[in-house]
Amino acid sequence: MDLNAAADMLKEKTKENSQKIVRVFNAIRSALITVAAVMLILALVGFFLSILGHRHAILIFVGSGWFLVAITFILCGVFLILNNAISDTCLAMEEWVENPQAETALSSILPCVKQKTTNNTLTQSKKVIINIVNVVNTFVYSFADANPSKKGYGYYNQTGPLMPPLCYPFDSQLQVRQCGPQEVSMANASVVWKNYICEVSSSGRCITRGRVTPDIYQQLVAAVNESYALEYYTPLLLGLQDCKFVRDTFQEITTKYCPPLEHYLTIVNSGLGLISVGVLLCLIFWIVYANRPQREEVFVKLPCTIVGSRGRPKNNADNGVSQSNIGEV
User: At which of 241, 265, 290 does a domain end?
Assistant: 241
Rg (CA), the chain: 45
Q: What is the mean pLDDT of residues 36-62?
A: 72
Q: What is the mean pLDDT of residues 142-147?
A: 88
Residue 104 sits in the same domain as residue 141: no
Q: Which of 16-20, 39-43, 244-248, 291-295 comes out lowest in average pLDDT?
A: 291-295
For 72, how many CA atoms within 13 A lie in the half-sphere containing its CB? Answer: 28
What is the model's pTM?
0.49
Residue 89 sits in the same domain as residue 26: yes
Residue 249 sits in the same domain as residue 211: no
**158 part of a folded domain:** yes
pLDDT averaged over the chain?
76
**316 part of a folded domain:** no
Per-residue confidence at 295, pLDDT binned at 50, 70, 90?
A: very low
Structure letter (DSSP) for residue 210: B
Q: What percent of the chain has pLDDT over 70?
A: 73
Helices 244-252 & 214-241 angle (0-180, nearest 10): 50
> What pLDDT score does 289 carry?
67
Q: Which of 191-205, 219-233, 263-277 comes out lowest in average pLDDT?
A: 263-277
Between 132 and 289, the more confident residue is 132
Backbone angles phi, psi at 177, to 5 degrees: -125, 160
Question: Domain range holding 163?
Answer: 133-241
Read off the pLDDT of residues 165-196 as tens digits, 9 standing for 90 and up. 999 988 888 888 888 888 999 888 999 999 99
- Tell me how far apart the alpha carbons of residues 150 and 158 are, in angstroms, rounded to a whole number: 10
Residue 233 sits in the same domain as residue 262: no
Cβ neighbors of 99 (< 8 A, separation 6 or more) are none
- Tell me how far apart the alpha carbons of residues 245 and 242 are, in angstroms, rounded to a whole number: 8
> What pLDDT score does 187 carry?
86
> What pLDDT score does 290 carry?
61
Residue 28 sits in the same domain as residue 175: no
**Domain count within the chain:** 2
Give the residues across from 184 on adjacent strands: 166
Residue 106 sits in the same domain as residue 249: yes
Backbone angles phi, psi at 153, to 5 degrees: -75, 135
Between 102 and 161, the more confident residue is 161
Read off the pLDDT of residues 266-275 as tens digits, 9 standing for 90 and up. 887 787 777 7
User: At which of 241, 264, 283 does a domain end?
Assistant: 241
Coarse DSSP helix, strand, coil percentages of the chain, rounded to the nearest 5 percent: 75, 5, 20
- Tell me how far apart the alpha carbons of residues 217 and 191 are, in angstroms, rounded to a whole number: 11
Contact 69, 279 (CB under 8 A): yes
Residue 155 sits in the same domain as residue 205: yes
Structure letter (DSSP) for residue 194: G
